[in-house]
Amino acid sequence: MRKFTKSLGALGLAAALAVSVLAVPSQAATNNSITVAEVTAGGGGVQTIFSPWINSGSISHHAMFRALFKADANLTSVKPDLASGYKYSKDGKTLTVTLKSGIKWSDGKDLTVDDVVWSMNSLLRVAKSNAIYVNAFKQIVGSEAVNGTNTTTMSGITTKGNDITISLKAPVNTLIPVLAQFMILPKHVLANEDILKLDTNNYWKNPVVLGPYKVGTFSQGNFITLVPNDKYEGSKPIIKEINIIVSSNLVADAKSGKLDYFTTNDPDTIRAMSSVSTFKSAPLDVLFYRYLVINPTGPFSNVKAREALKYAIDWNKLVPAIYGQQGKVINSGVASGMSFHDSSIPKYKYDKAKAAALLKEANFDFSKTIRLRTYNQSQPAVMLILTAVAQQLTEIGMKVEFLPWTGDATTELWTNRNYELALKGLSAFNVGEWFAEYSNPATFEKLLGAQPKYAALNSQLIQSTTLRDTGKILTDLQKLEQQDLYKLPMHFLKQVVFISKNISGTPTKWGNPLYVYQNNIASWSAN
Amino acid sequence: MVSFLIRRVAILVPMAFTISALIFFASRLSPIDPINAMVPPDMASDSANLEQLREELGLNDNIILQYFHWLKNIATGDFGYSLQSGEKISDILALRMPATLELVLSALILSTLLALTLGLFAGAKKGGVADKLSRVLGVIGIAIPDFFIGLALLNVFAFRVEWLPTGNRVAPGQVTLWDRLPNLILPVSTLTIAMLAVLIRYTRNSVLDTLNRDFVKTARSKGVPEWRVLYSHVFRNSLGPVMVLLAFRLPLLVGGSILVETVFQWPGIGTTIIAAVTASDYPVIMVVSMIIAMVILVASFLVDIIKSILDPRVRLGGGN
């Protein structure tokens, strides 16, 4: 027995020694490399670089892709990037952009106006893209003729030398900020590819790019390493390698020095990171809405019943309790404190008696079970807040069934519609996107029917050229929204960026991590 | 023996067809529209583009036609394309399979060696230290789910003492197998502990059963050394049930361990299945399901062969 115990002890010691020898040393950021964490679908490690025409804003997008303009952190003010300048006609219906000369792709080919024109035409041919580009480009003359079944080009885009002239059906006040997000892709590489399925093309494994970095190593399922692009005409990047990984535990990896940068809106991670002294953080005021979609058929067909929901839930208590400083309660798409907020909108303070009275007025059918649904079942904070919502609704006499979706969320939301209340999120480029949802035929109009009033106001909003007009239209939209109450706004959710204290040269103001802006990545350095 | 093999193969073929039909039609009966899963409505650039995509992917064809088309493609090695990533499914498998094989084969070999050794000693010295240890390990391994074992190991070795990585198979800068070894330790240990438990108990019980056989008593009474009794008579005759269990573990080499791969962000077949189910990527689901089903059929066929070799009564129709 003694001999056996001794042997076991020796074996254990040897195992511990072996493990410590093999232990991974932490890798603090240096000018040789930094490591950033990004979310990716597909399980395991990094699968692909996402097409920036769908979502941009990741470090790989900032580092590799460029647009005609570069936005500031607020996404509203722009500076020329690939373009040297732009000019609008007096009526706002013609935009002329001048492309810079001498810019090269990472494979040595010149950037030309053909790349810009091809990119803009192709955006309307891909199956999947971000709505901000589609909504803007569909205002270009000739856009209705372009789709995935043909190779027609928009007649409203013409070129002469380095000038690209864009003719619009009506002024589009978001076109320049949108063009600051729209990454130009190489025509000479992609013109013969299946554009319909561009987002799944092999191009994304090692894209030909214009930015300060390009792909050095693509270890699919594991990591991507970006290295300086020697064809980039700007200042050479200081950091020699940017490693992009998927982290299964951001806090642990940050603590052990295996990670130097990431963004998150998960309150548990944000709380845990307060104990990691080697990192600095910055909250990001982003337009990330959380709200409940109300199915207006069934128990909530009467607007009074929908109004009752506004008084039935104590958001001012729930949101700070669960999200702390990260969440801000909102009662409208244009929240209080934002420009053009309609101060006549009621504050909707928690009032169970008023909610009950409104339900009575609406002849609410209390025998019906209210199905409350979410697709964020993997987020504990979401499950907690919705559990509290369900509880508060039962306190005013409703029968509530709270469950996550079992099938595909978008099919459930817009096609099957087997719910009364459903949680939805929107990371909006601007406030207009919140209201544009109402007149989207692929989503809200399937639920609500055609919304001509919203469609007309949304159209006016993107065409308005003065702040006064914009203010008036936003006020009208808010009043319309208060008449119908199809959405129950809950809160904004701040994103937080965490970055190692070893890294300097980063922007003084960080922007929305789902969009690109001037983040000086080529100037980042690590001590 | 030949007629026995022919009989077994004759059953395999119709079973394979039945399974393929079940897999195909079951996945197509799902109410989830794969186009909606690929392109959320708020990201659809144009309804005409979505219709074009539906046409290109063959989703408008008659379902029976789709089945035979799919079957023909599978038979010729064309597994189709992932709806989610657009990659060839054969490329996805070629990329992910080595990761799963690395993990599962390591765990299989380690667990088998440990289980056979411990199980033999446990059975040979009933009530001894090895027996007690094997029984404790057996209970722990069976009672505690493998993902929990993984999380516990992660918590101690990756988060608290920070000796080992928190996940992934390859980190930047890791080139050789020696570089990557730390990444393997925790997932392989987790899977080994989970696999060890059942195998130890099987081996121990099989050894105990064999020890009571007449031929063992005869060998001992003839003065054969104990080590030779254990090795030549007991161990080899105890392997039958153990081999059956090992053969039924072969599908793991293909299907991976979904939970362990998810806990450790291991880019193998397991995480591929999870991602495919989440994204309603049914071409991937169907191919992986089909492969796993075929491997199980082959494993079951191999078990029959092994049993018939070990016990001739089986192929003559007279054995258990």
Give me the phi and psi of A28, to 5 degrees please: -70, 155
Task: Give dist(CA A12, CA A17) in Å, integer.
Answer: 9
Residues in chain B: 320
pLDDT at position B4 is 73
Contact A43 B95 (CB under 8 A): no
Between strands A241-245 and A33-37, the pairing is parallel
Q: Is A229 helix (H, G, I), strand (E, B) or coil?
A: coil
Q: For residue A335, what are its two tokens? A: 């929240």
Per residue in B206-222, pLDDT tens? 888 888 888 888 888 88
Give me the phi and psi of A504, to 5 degrees please: -125, 175
Which residues, in sequence order, are CB contacts of B110 under 8 Å at separation 6+? B188, B192
Interface size A-B, in CB pairs within 8 Å, comes to 199
Q: What tens-digit pLDDT sequence spans chain A (527 residues)?
A: 555 555 555 555 545 444 444 444 444 566 689 999 886 544 556 778 889 999 888 899 999 999 999 999 988 899 999 999 999 999 999 999 999 999 999 999 999 999 999 999 999 999 889 989 999 999 999 999 998 778 889 999 999 999 999 999 999 999 999 999 999 999 999 999 999 889 888 899 999 999 999 999 998 888 999 999 999 999 999 999 999 998 888 998 899 888 999 999 888 899 999 999 999 999 887 889 999 999 999 899 999 999 999 999 999 999 999 998 889 999 999 998 899 999 999 888 999 999 999 999 999 999 999 999 998 777 889 999 999 999 999 999 999 999 988 767 778 888 889 999 999 999 888 999 999 999 988 889 999 999 999 999 999 999 988 889 999 999 999 999 999 999 999 999 999 999 999 999 999 899 988 899 999 999 999 87
pLDDT at position B221 is 85
Task: Give dist(CA A39, CA A262) in Å, integer.
Answer: 10
pLDDT at position B311 is 66
Residue B53 in contact with residue A197, Cβ under 8 Å?
yes
Q: Is B172 helix (H, G, I), strand (E, B) or coil?
A: coil
Per residue in B144-197, pLDDT tens? 988 899 999 999 998 888 889 888 898 888 888 889 999 999 999 999 988 888
pLDDT band for position B233 (cuts 50, 70, 90) = confident
Task: Give dist(CA A319, CA A311) in Å, integer.
Answer: 15
Task: Give dist(CA A226, CA B37) in Å, integer.
Answer: 30
Domains of chain A and CATH, by start: 22-51+58-63+211-284+497-526 (3.40.190.10), 69-190 (3.90.76.10), 287-493 (3.10.105.10)
Per residue in B42-87, pLDDT tens? 777 777 888 888 888 777 888 888 888 888 888 888 888 888 777 8
pLDDT at position A8 is 52
> From the CA of A440, how many Å to the nearest CA of chain B?
8
Restricting to B residues 52-91, those with a Cβ less than 8 Å away from any Cβ of A are: 52-53, 56, 82, 84-87
pLDDT at position A5 is 52
Q: Across the interface, which of A23, A124, A241 has its CB nearest the CB of B163?
A: A23
Preferred mutation among B29, B39, B42, B131 to probe A, highest tally of A CBs within 10 A: B42
Within 8 A of A440 by CB-CB distance, chain B residues are 41-42
Which residues, in sequence order, are CB contacts of B7 under 8 Å at separation 6+? none
> From the CA of A288, how many Å to the nearest CA of chain B?
16
**Distances A281 to A28, A113, A503, B58, B65 between C-alpha atoms, Å:** 17, 40, 12, 49, 57
Complex ipTM over 0.90: no
Q: Is A466 buried (19+), middle (13-18) or exposed (0-12) by CB count in 10 A?
A: exposed
Q: What angle do CA B156, B162, B164 make, to 5 degrees?
A: 85
Within 8 A of A222 by CB-CB distance, chain B residues are 168-171, 267
Residue A92 in contact with residue A78, Cβ under 8 Å?
no
Average pLDDT in the B135-149 region? 86
Nearest CA in chain A to B284: A42
pLDDT at position B118 is 87
Contact with chain B for residue A200, Cβ under 8 A: yes
Q: Across the interface, which of B32, B162, B274 has its CB nearest the CB of A43?
A: B274
Residues in chain A: 527
Which residues, in sequence order, are CB contacts of B53 under 8 Å at separation 6+? A127, A148, A196, A197, B35, B38, B39
Contact B267 A147 (CB under 8 A): no
Contact with chain A for residue B46, Cβ under 8 A: yes
pLDDT at position A43 is 52
